[in-house]
């Protein structure tokens, strides 16, 4: 917009699947829906290209994805870390973060789950704090 990038989506096509591992948008332009328009264009491309048989958003179930689908598929994550003190510390932190995330998500009502960000250990920390606030304010 005016020479300034406002959104991007990285799509990878392989074996009949178009996957979206990464995307983003400038928060200042969020109300324009540029990211959603990019995704809509990729979906249109899927219908026009007979070699594409599936479309995957990848990542966590986020609100913007619900504009296009209401289904989810389980995913597996792989983290490859160095075998040195820093790598072992990061591995311990990542493992603890994902375990905390799984426990928090398991206990949340669906309505609250859709409002929180669980897309990684940092999101877990933010969402766990938000969840605690929700619990405090609901009592």
Angle separating helix axes 121-138 and 85-107, nearest 10 degrees? 40
Give the residue extent of every domain in the chain: 7-67, 85-138
| Whole-number CA gyration radius for the chain | 18
pTM assigned to the model: 0.53
Which among 21, 20, 17 is positioned nearest to 52, based on CA atoms?
17
Q: What is the dihedral of CA 44, 47, 49, 54, to 10 degrees?
A: 100
Mean pLDDT of 114-133: 54
Rounded to the nearest integer, the mean pLDDT of the chain is 78
Compute the half-sphere exposure of residue 111: CA atoms within 13 Å on the CB side of its CA.
1
pLDDT digits (tens, 9 = 90+) for 43-93: 898 899 999 998 888 877 777 787 888 777 777 777 788 899 998 998 888
Q: What pLDDT is stored for residue 22 in this prediction?
A: 85
- Above pLDDT 90, what percent of the chain? 9
Burial class from Cβ neighbours inside 10 Å (0-12, 13-18, 19+) for residue 29 reads: middle
């Amino acid at each position: 917009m005016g020479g300034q990038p406002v959104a991007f989506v990285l799509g990878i096509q392989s074996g009949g699947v178009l996957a979206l591992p990464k995307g983003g948008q400038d928060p200042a332009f969020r109300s324009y829906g540029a990211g959603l328009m990019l995704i809509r264009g990729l979906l249109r491309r899927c219908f026009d290209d007979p070699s594409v048989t599936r479309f995957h958003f990848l990542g966590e179930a986020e609100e913007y994805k619900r504009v296009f689908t209401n289904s989810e598929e389980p995913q597996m994550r792989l983290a490859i870390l160095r075998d040195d003190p820093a790598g072992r510390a990061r591995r311990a932190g990542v493992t603890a973060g994902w375990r905390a995330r799984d426990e928090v998500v398991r206990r949340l009502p669906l309505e609250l789950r859709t409002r929180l960000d669980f897309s990684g250990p940092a999101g877990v920390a933010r969402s766990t704090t938000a969840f605690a606030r929700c619990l405090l304010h609901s009592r």
